Amino acid sequence: MGNWITSIGLDIGTSTTKFIVSHLSIAEQGSPFHLPTSQIIDRTVVYESSIYTTPLTSNQDIDMTSLAIILSNEYEQSGIHFKDVKAGAVIITGETARKENAEKITNYLADRAGNFVVATAGADLEGILAGKGSGAKDRSEEIEGIVANVDIGGGTANVALFEAGRAIQTFTFHVGGRLIRINDQEEVVYISEYLRPWLEANLFSTQTDRGITFNELKEICTRMNQSMISFLTGEPKYHANLLLLEPMDQTLPPIKEVIFSGGVGHMMAGNEPIQMSEVTTFGDIGPLLASTLLKVSKWSGLNISEAKETTRATVIGAGMQNTELSGATIFVHEDLLPIKNLPIVRIMVDTLDFETIAFANQLNEVMTQAKKLYEVQDPPFALGLLGREYCSYQTMKTMTNTIYQLFHRHFPNATCLVVICESDIGKALGQSLKKTSHEGIQIICIDQVDFLHGDYIDLGLRTAGEAISLSVKTLAFG
Distances (CA, A) of 50 to 56, 89, 294, 296, 311: 18, 18, 25, 30, 11
pLDDT at 319: 42
Cα distance between residue 188 and residue 185, in whole Å: 9
Cα distance between residue 107 and residue 110, in whole Å: 5
Would residue 301 be called left, alpha or beta, if left means φ above 0 and alpha means ψ between -120 and 50 degrees?
left
Q: How do the pLDDT tens digits run along the chain, 478 residues long?
A: 557 778 777 888 777 888 888 887 766 555 554 444 455 677 778 888 888 988 888 767 889 899 989 988 998 999 988 777 776 677 777 667 666 777 777 677 766 655 566 666 566 777 887 888 888 988 999 999 999 999 998 888 999 999 988 888 889 999 998 899 999 899 999 999 999 999 999 999 999 999 999 999 999 999 999 999 999 999 999 999 999 988 887 789 999 999 999 888 889 988 889 899 888 888 899 999 999 999 999 899 889 999 887 766 555 433 444 555 566 557 877 788 888 878 888 888 765 567 888 888 989 998 998 888 887 778 889 998 877 566 777 888 888 899 999 999 999 988 899 998 877 777 888 888 888 887 788 988 888 776 655 577 888 776 656 677 777 666 554 4
Cα distance between residue 125 and residue 103, in whole Å: 19
- Our CA angle for 181, 98, 441, nearest 5°, is 150
Burial class for 90, CB neighbours closer than 10 Å (0-12, 13-18, 19+)? buried
Cα distance between residue 96 and residue 85, in whole Å: 25
Dihedral pair phi/psi, residue 128, rounded to 5° = -65, -45
Tell me if the pTM is above 0.85.
Answer: no
Quick check: 96 and 52 in contact, CB under 8 A? no
pLDDT at 103: 74
Quick check: 104 and 57 in contact, CB under 8 A? no
pLDDT at 477: 45
Cα distance between residue 2 and residue 16, in whole Å: 34
End-to-end CA distance of the chain: 20
Cα distance between residue 266 and residue 283, in whole Å: 17
pLDDT at 320: 41
